[in-house]
């Protein structure tokens, strides 16, 4: 409800507040009508091997994090106990594939010597992307702020957006409004075709990755 305060209504009741922050990222759905056209949920996955011991130095000789240049990016590092933490693969919608199988395949293309390494953990989650891969900061109403879609860079950018949200509520909206002024293109296709076109495009670029193009 617009006005000096905002009321959120659910089937179980309502909450009234001075400010509301919409920060559901890939799980926001259609809660804010302006979001679905600009923010798309995707799923990404990670696995962890058993501790590699002395073999770890053949994986990464230095304590660095690595990412490749593929469209569906692979990224990895070693943990403190010398496990390989390897991320890769994507899916669309809220149904996850066999995560271990999805991520192990690109891992073995890079490190075939780890074919006998036991995978002890595999997990995934839903994040969100924008067309230009910039965070989606919107102000649907004067006292309703929305921030999400760090497009895979959330460790750094979500900390920044959290700071900007706090500053805005405290009275200084200059930083938030600056980022919110960056144009956010809409995904093409309209409400009916937007999702099928996204899946088609991501599948196409994923195929190019697999073909080495």
Render the burial of 9-20: b for 16+ CB within 10 Å, e for the rest. Answer: eeeeeeeeeeeb
pLDDT single digits (tens) 146-173:
888 888 888 888 899 999 999 999 999 9
Instruction: Supply the pLDDT for residue 188.
Output: 81
Q: To which residue do tokens 């405290």 refer?
A: 170
Q: To which residue do tokens 């996955």 refer?
A: 45
Check residue 53 and report its DSSP letter: G
* The pLDDT of residue 139 is above 70: yes
Question: 3-class DSSP state for residue 85?
Answer: strand
* The pLDDT of residue 31 is above 80: no
Instruction: Supply the pLDDT for residue 190.
Output: 77
pLDDT single digits (tens) 121-134:
999 999 888 888 88
Mean pLDDT of 24-39: 78
Contact status, residue 138 vs residue 34, Cβ threshold 8 Å = yes
For the question of whether the overall pTM of this predicted structure is more than 0.75, the answer is yes
β-sheet bridge partners, residue 22: 146
pLDDT single digits (tens) 88-109:
988 877 778 899 999 999 999 9
Instruction: Supply the pLDDT for residue 1.
Output: 45
Q: 140: which 2 tokens? A: 């649907």
Helix ranges, 95-173 (H): 99-110, 154-170
Q: 208: which 2 tokens? A: 């190019």
Q: How many CB atoms lie within 10 A of CB 32?
A: 18
Domains of the chain from N-terminus onward: 17-39+130-182 (no CATH), 41-129 (3.30.9.10)
Instruction: Supply the pLDDT for residue 25.
Output: 84
DSSP state letters, 3-38: SSSEEEEETTEEEEES-EEE--GGG-TTSSTTSTTT
Instruction: Supply the pLDDT for residue 120.
Output: 97
């Amino acid at each position: 409800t617009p006005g000096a305060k905002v009321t959120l209504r659910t089937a179980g009741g309502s909450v009234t507040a001075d400010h509301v922050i919409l920060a559901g990222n890939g799980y926001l759905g259609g809660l804010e009508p302006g979001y679905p056209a600009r923010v798309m949920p995707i799923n990404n996955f990670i696995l962890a091997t058993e501790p590699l011991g002395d073999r770890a130095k053949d994986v990464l000789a230095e304590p660095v994090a690595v990412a490749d240049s593929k469209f569906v990016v692979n990224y990895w590092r070693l943990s403190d106990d010398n496990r390989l933490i390897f991320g890769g693969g994507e899916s669309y919608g809220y149904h996850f594939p066999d995560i271990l199988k999805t991520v192990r395949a690109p891992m073995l293309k890079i490190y075939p010597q780890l074919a006998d390494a036991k995978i002890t953990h595999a997990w995934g989650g839903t994040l969100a992307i924008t067309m230009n891969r910039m965070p989606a900061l919107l102000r649907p109403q004067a006292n309703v702020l929305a921030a999400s879609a760090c497009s895979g860079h959330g460790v750094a950018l979500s900390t920044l957006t959290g700071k900007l949200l706090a500053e805005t509520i405290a009275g200084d909206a200059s930083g938030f409004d600056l980022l919110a002024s960056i144009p956010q293109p809409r995904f093409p296709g309209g409400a009916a075709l937007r999702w099928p076109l996204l899946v088609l495009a991501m599948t196409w670029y994923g195929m190019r990755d697999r073909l080495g193009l």
